[in-house]
Amino acid sequence: MTTTTDPRPLDDAFFADPDALYRVLRTEAPVSRVVTTMGLTVWLVTRYADARPALNDARLAKSGSGFATVLEKQGIENRARFADSLVGHMLNTDPPDHTRLRKLVSRAFTVRAIAAMRPRITALAEELADAMTGDEADLLDAFAFPLPMTVISELLGVPPEHREDFRGWSNTLLSAGEPETRTAAAGAMAQFLSQLVADKAAHPGDDMLSAIVRAAEDGDSLSHTEVISMAFLLLVAGHETTVNLIANGMRALLQHPDQAALLRADPALVPNAVEEFLRYDGPVNLATLRFSTQDVEIGGTTVPAGEVVLVSLIGANRDPERYERPTELDVTRDARGHLAFGYGIHHCLGAPLARLEGEIAFRTLLSRFPAMTLAADPRSLTWRESTLIHGVTSMPVRLR
């Protein structure tokens, strides 16, 4: 069966409450065409049972000229191009390139390697909490952004003075917005990373980026462009998502004080709660673009060759066929198997780090600010206009 109805547009309401659309689509048209804010017609996969295999389907490829071809076919000018030096990373590649690129850094991100970072992340979280001395704060600015940004910057060796600039470029690149603004942000980001890589080559340090630069110099294992793209991916993926794990999770808790009370009474429950926050309101709405290299049947619908497929992680994680009472926050439930980190060969490399940062962030915020409440009507919060990142643009809270 091929769907013939006109594709639905994704609008602002979708960013605030994507599951409102997914609820309808999961039952009426689980694999159907929608139009993104950039005007691209894509196939949207909303059921858990379809989403999981689709994420790991080699026929839905990441690389090559797929995107350019689709844009051309749909008559869309690629107005908001990423700089070429930013796109040659593992999340945009298929094996064997993907395997080679991922292997270069995978050892640094194992659960064991990441566990060694616990004392430093805890100290950072405490420092940020110490600095929250006022009665109110924006939880994003004061805590949810600086924690993961500092952690990934220290890991890679990015000097502190550039972190706010980086936040601005990254936010712009991952949101809808004006093409000119996005192109400018991509250019600034590419230039910054290129300079950073040159600095690491000239003055290597004891950091991951220096190690990656060295690996590129030692053999033909990766090109200069791949080094810059790798730095881009790790820095962007390393903070944009975790920021919203912390913010979305805290918002969920502030709206469900009974669940916060459970965690305060039994902090050992926090790691389980992190999995539930990821399932309940994960930071990634739609996984990154995939291209059908041939006709692919998904959940009874044939997606023709040469199309873009977007897999909804939030849709899958709220699927009542997979989770009972999916719209209920329950920090005691077994949320394992959620797709918030993706699935298959592109499964999030940083998952152990994100989990550790999340655990420390929630423990710290719950114990240091037992009286925290939302300082805004949840309906008045503004959402990132991004099909990738699901999160608010600011989150005012009362601290005491």
- How many C-beta neighbours within 10 Å does residue 119 have? 8
Shortest spacing between CB 105 and ligand HEM, in angstroms? 7
Q: Which two tokens stand for residue 152?
A: 């990934």
Q: What is each CA distance from 124 to 136, 332, 351, in whole angstroms?
A: 20, 28, 19
For ligand HEM, the closer CB: 158 or 399: 158
Rounded-to-integer distance, Cα 234 and Cα 105, Å: 10
Shorter beta-carbon distance to ligand HEM: residue 55 or 174: 55
- Which tokens in the block code for residue 392? 């608010």
Query: Rounded to the nearest whole angstrom, what is the least distance from the CB of residue 326 to ligand HEM in the complex?
Result: 18
Q: Which residue, 30 or 249, has its beta carbon nearer to ligand HEM? A: 249
Cβ 340 to ligand HEM shortest distance, Å? 5
User: Which of residues 307 and 399 has its CB atom nearest to ligand HEM in the complex?
Assistant: 307
* For ligand HEM, the closer CB: 236 or 399: 236
Q: Which residues sit at the interface with ligand HEM, rule CB under 6 A? A: 55, 90-91, 102, 152, 233-234, 237-238, 241-242, 245, 282-284, 287-288, 313, 340-342, 346, 348-350, 353-354
Measured in whole angstroms, how far is the alpha carbon of residue 58 from the centre of its chain?
21
Burial of 115 (0-12, 13-18, 19+ CB in 10 A): exposed
Query: Among residues 254 and 353, whose Cβ is nearest to ligand HEM?
Result: 353
Least Å distance, CB 346 to ligand HEM, is 4
Give least dist CB 229 to ligand HEM, A.
11
Q: How far apart are CA 378 and CA 346, in angstroms?
A: 33
Choice between 144 and 313, CB closer to ligand HEM = 313
- Min separation Cβ 380 and ligand HEM, Å: 25
Cβ-contact 84, 60 below 8 angstroms: no
CA proximity to 81, closest of 184, 166, 231: 184
- The distance in angstroms from the start CA to the end CA of the chain is 57
Instruction: Say how far apart CA 385 and CA 138 lie, in whole Å.
Output: 19
Which strand (E) or helix (H) includes residue 9?
A: strand 8-9
Closest approach, Cβ 28 to ligand HEM, in A, equals 25
- Give 263 or 399: the residue with its C-beta nearer to ligand HEM: 263
- Cis (ω within 30 of 0) for the bond into 96? yes
Quick one: which of 287, 173, 242, 179 has its CA closest to 391?
A: 242
Name the residue nearer to ligand HEM (CB basis): 196 or 399: 196
- State the residue number with the nearest CB to ligand HEM: 350
Distance CA 80, CA 174 (A): 11
DSSP 78-112: -TTPPPGGGS-SGGG--TTHHHHHHHHHHGGGSHH
Q: Whose Cβ is closer to ligand HEM: residue 18's or residue 238's?
A: 238
Minimum CB separation of residue 169 from ligand HEM in Å reads: 17
Radius of gyration from C-alpha coordinates of the chain: 21
Q: Minimal distance in Å, beta carbon 133 to ligand HEM?
A: 28
User: What is the distance between the alpha carbons of residues 316 and 340, in angstroms, rounded to a whole number?
Assistant: 9
Written as six digits, the tokens of 16 are 């605030």
Q: Work out the angle at residue 312's Cα, subtended by the Cα atoms of residues 323 and 169, and round it to the nearest 5 degrees.
A: 130
| Minimum distance from residue 70 beta carbon to ligand HEM (Å) | 16
